[in-house]
Amino acid sequence: MTALTLSTAGAATLRADALVVGVAKAAGPKGGLVVAPGAEAVDKAFGGKLAAVLETLGARGAEGEVTKAVSPSGLKAPFVLAVGLGTVPAADEAYGAEVLRTAAGNAARALHGLKKAAFALPIEAAEDIEAIGEGALLGAYAFTAYQDRGPDAKEPLAEVTLLGAKPRDKAHKAAVERSLALAEEMNRARDLINTPPNDLTPEAFAAVVSAASKEHGLKVQVLDEKALEKGGFGGILGVGVGSENPPRLVKITYTHAKNAKHLALVGKGITYDSGGISLKPAGHNETMKCDMSGAAAVFAAVVAAARLGLEVNVTGWLALAENMPSGSATRPGDVLRMYSGKTVEVLNTDAEGRLVLADALWKASEEKPDAIVDVATLTGAMVLALGDHTFGIMANDDAFRTAIHEIAEESGEQSWPMPLPANLRKTMDSPTADLANMGVRMGGGLVAGLFLKEFVGEGITWAHLDIAGPAYNEGAPHGYTPKGGTGSSVRTLLRLAERTAAGDLG
């Protein structure tokens, strides 16, 4: 994992393999290149002509832009890497957290293969340190566990030093601590998402959670297939029954010493989704190792909350199963008796995520938490509605839905509030069971949310995050987002825990 440190050293005197600075476009029609605050010493080493040199090399200051320039004799680092920050903010404004986070991520990705880089980006407050640290640590991520790494292979940037910060300042130190906890757990979630499904079975996932729980002093309980059968978890068992790798329900608990509020997080953990008997066609199943992204996010958020010692109780429920076709698999038309006691007619075995979540939601409800949030790569309909970068939010409480939307935006994650239209509920009526696992096709993401709502305990505030779009990036890396598993919603869940601990939510 990339190291993160603070330094009071000057940009001109610190020894590093690269020096990262920010550049931006001046406001107005001419829009010339401007060197961002934090890089004054670097500009001085260039004789005050850093912007001119970079413009000659093609830099325009646009977000996502990266420009490399050889250092003059006055700098210890051999080259300067300029990252675009977009338009210069107004005089009474600062560069936004997401702008800094993205710029730091772009820099870290561009510096693969180096040992140490010094970041001289704009820092006005601890929040800026946090954003730059997060972006650099997330941008330096690479999943190489299954690659034959030869001697010439470029490894991720090993160390990031932030200049312009105060190593002994309490708020600055806390910002580094939070950046490290969040990024390391988010990258662990990415590792899990990227792990091939022949290695990450439900049992193997549960083992990873157990090991991390021991490391961080968390309580963990793993219900295997025998315990699930004895407990009557018909939804989880109904999905996992077709696979040779049996399902698991994992409970991971962080408890604060004080009598704090209780937040329950529930994650969909389908370690591979073939669709079951309702088999997915070619072109739709190659990336289905990522169908456990919700469980990975919940796991990461609970561990991060524990590492930061938040004054809140957080329980994570990971509903783990592999959805496979076989002679023992659940068939379309079968009826499952769920853990809640309700019966569900399975019309499509590829609508399996809601089945495992239903059991986990009802189990989580038994503890009467102050709020439940479930996270899942649940529907393709949500991707069609919101695209690849935005997750949908549904809830049984409008204020809670709004709060999570605001928290997500504050955390740098794109999200959008979605409704739960009552008229769609009747489309899941079944002549055989209490309800079916499918309704009308149009508005399928909303139908799935309505299904889950049926399994939330009475009087409990609940929200559902459908992260099907942003959970797995099949395109090119960008900013601090790699190709493959992204760790979507981890930042939102952790911020929600922090806000709950602060008493901001009820």
Of 286, 242, 248, residue with least CA distance to 267: 248
Cα of 129 vs its chain's centroid, Å: 20
Helix then strand then coil, in percent of the chain rounded to 5, is: 35, 20, 45
Q: Classify the C-alpha dihedral 126-143-496-448 as positive or negative.
A: positive
* Pair 80, 86: CB distance under 8 Å: no
- Has 453 been annotated as catalytic? no
Per annotation, catalytic residue among 68, 280, 342, 483: 280
Cα of 474 vs its chain's centroid, Å: 15
DSSP string, 116-160: EEEEE---SSHHHHHHHHHHHHHHT----TTS---TTPPPPP-EE
Give the residues across from 461 on adjacent strands. 371
* Pair 268, 357: CB distance under 8 Å: yes
Task: Count CA atoms closer than 13 A to 53's CA, side-chain side.
Answer: 20
Number of helices and strands in the chain (H, E): 14, 20
CA distance 290 to 487: 10
CA distance 351 to 37: 51
Per annotation, catalytic residue among 25, 178, 261, 354: 354
Q: Kind and range of the H or E element at 222?
A: strand 219-223
Q: Name residue 268's amino acid.
A: K
Task: Count CA atoms closer than 13 A to 91's CA, side-chain side.
Answer: 0
**Token pair of 417 as six digits:** 């509030």
Query: In a 3-state reduction of DSSP, which class is residue 407?
Result: helix
Q: Kind and range of the H or E element at 309?
A: none
Characterize the bridge pairing of strands 335-337 and 472-473.
unpaired
- Has 280 been annotated as catalytic? yes
Q: What is the distance between the terminal CA atoms of the chain, rounded to a whole angstrom?
A: 37
Of 142, 157, 43, residue with least CA distance to 107: 157
Task: Count CA atoms closer than 13 A to 383's CA, side-chain side.
Answer: 12
Query: Which active-site residues does the annotation give?
Result: 280, 354
